[in-house]
Amino acid sequence: MDERGPLCVGIDPHAALLADWGLGDDIAGLERFTRTVVEALADRVAVLKPQSAFFERFGSRGVAVLERAVAESRDAGALVVMDAKRGDIGSTMAAYADAYLDPSSPLFSDALTVSPYLGFGSLRPALDRARAAGCGLFVLALTSNPEGAEVQHAVRGGGRTVAATVLRHLAAENAGEAPLGSFGAVVGATLGGTLNELGVDLDMGGALLAPGIGAQGATAGDLPGVFGPAVGNVLPSISRGVLRHGPSPAALREAAAREAGLMAETVA
């Protein structure tokens, strides 16, 4: 982020965006879209975040496109956050960790998004594998979708919200690491004053992946008000706000540079 600017660009090849680019909703369209984004941005943005579901829907051929995108992005110097939101228990969680957090896997990524809502302890296989491999996790804490509130804002017996509990667990995992630990949280940029009402502590020693900028309504200017003193640890994430400028590689690069500049003015 210091070298390339505080920006994460999603790679979200959903059907409507493929159509906007004049591409078919098929494996050829998926491959053309993904290669264009990677070739245009991987040597200049800090983070690329492929959404696994948009590749999985094409079966094994789509996953093969995802594997190439991960490898080529990392070779070009971008960090890759795999947006797969995995969450399970025991050997199944360990298998997900093997898929995304084992350096020998073709899907090995610098970080993986995971869900803690089977209990934070269910993430232990992924936490351990990430720590051993030198990569990280972004754990869903306060997401930008309105439906998330019914779980994340719920108050536990001791008066602490579920989201605050997740953040406290992350603080414990990151304890003693400097400048930041490897375990971050997903906290939506659309939440406005909600965070103060929930009594959460965002200074948990890890990065904060912040979706919701652009199409969901948040702007770079909203970040200081949402994240307060923790704004310097925010990795703003934007997808359609950059991708809609394709298929021109030059236009994608210009849009990413513009967004990174806006983010740098507020995330400091």
- For 172, residues 6+ apart whose C-beta sits below 8 A from its C-beta are none
Catalytic residue among 4, 14, 68, 85: 85
Is 268 a residue whose pLDDT tops 80?
A: no
Question: Can you read off the two tokens belonging to residue 229?
Answer: 């003193």
**Residues 69, 35: Cα–Cα separation, whole Å:** 7
pLDDT cut 70: percent of the chain above it: 99
pLDDT for the residue numbered 148: 94
95 near 124, Cβ under 8 Å?
no
**Residues 141, 116: Cα–Cα separation, whole Å:** 8
pLDDT for the residue numbered 231: 94
Query: What is the DSSP track for 209-228?
Result: EE--BSTTSB-GGGHHHHHG
Q: What is the pLDDT of residues 71-127, one digit of tens each?
A: 999 999 999 999 999 999 999 999 999 999 999 999 999 999 999 999 999 999 999
Is 32 a residue whose pLDDT tops 80?
A: yes
Record the pTM.
Answer: 0.96
Distances from the Cα of 164 to the Cαs of 2, 56, 79, 197, in angstroms? 28, 32, 27, 11
Is 156 a residue whose pLDDT tops 80?
A: yes
pLDDT for the residue numbered 239: 95
Could you tell me how far CA 112 lies from the centroid of its own chain? 8
Q: What is the pLDDT of residues 202-252, one digit of tens each?
A: 999 999 999 988 877 889 999 998 999 999 999 999 999 999 999 999 999
pLDDT for the residue numbered 215: 73
Amino acid residing at 82 = M
Q: Of all helices (H) and strands (E), which one includes residue 113?
A: strand 111-114
Question: Can you read off the two tokens belonging to residue 143?
Answer: 């997401």
Q: Is 49 a catalytic residue?
A: no
pLDDT for the residue numbered 196: 74
Question: Can you read off the two tokens belonging to residue 262?
Answer: 């806006």
CB-based contacts of 99-104 (< 8 A; 24+ apart in sequence): 101/126, 101/129, 101/130, 101/133, 101/135, 102/129, 102/133, 103/133
pLDDT for the residue numbered 56: 98
